[in-house]
A = this chain, B = another copy of it.
Amino acid sequence: MKLTSAGRILAPDPMKSHTEYLTFHTKKRRDLVHLTPTLEPILARSGIAEGFMLVSAMHITAGVFVNDNESGLHADIWEWLERLAPSGPDYKHHRTGEDNGDAHLKSILVHHEVIVPITKGRMDLGPWQQVFYAEFDGQRDKRMVIKIIGE
């Protein structure tokens, strides 16, 4: 509760929201982009100290996840995704002229969004947690929405 110098009650801070969009155009068809360094200035611009940051791909052939920024692990992740949701010619989705059936399945597997808690004006992540954009069908413009709500 804030008071003026005359003791009158000031209105509390209302909920705030802040929205930005990012565009990625990866050179490789499949690629990981480390997002954390891009998210921190967005949070700073929001002025929000306590709340949630949604980091969400706006395409159905991309994912967002939180894990370690370690190149060996990233190679393991790609091998694993290819084993569980392999690329190949045999998808019924390809009757539409597309050739990216595996990218849709990889997006469902990894998920297309995460929520990052915001505490005391910072992304409240553990010491090894980093946010990644996973491109499963790139070489073209792909959009992402970052939306923060809080106070």
Instruction: Kindly state whether residue A35 has any CB partner on chain B within 8 Å.
Output: no
CB of B117 within 8 A of CB of A101, answer: no
Instruction: Kindly state whether residue A44 has any CB partner on chain B within 8 Å.
Output: no
Could you say which interface size class chain A belongs to?
35 or more
CB of A124 within 8 A of CB of B105, answer: no
Instruction: Kindly state whether residue A59 has any CB partner on chain B within 8 Å.
Output: yes
* A22 CB, min distance to chain B CBs, angstroms: 12
Copies of this chain present: 3
In the bound complex, residues from chain B placing their C-beta under 8 Å from that of A92 are 72-73, 75-76
Chain A interface residues (CB < 8 Å from chain B): 1, 9-15, 17, 19, 50-52, 54, 56-60, 65-68, 70, 72-73, 75-77, 80, 84-85, 91-96, 101, 104-105, 107-115, 117, 119, 124-126, 128-129, 143, 145, 147, 149-151
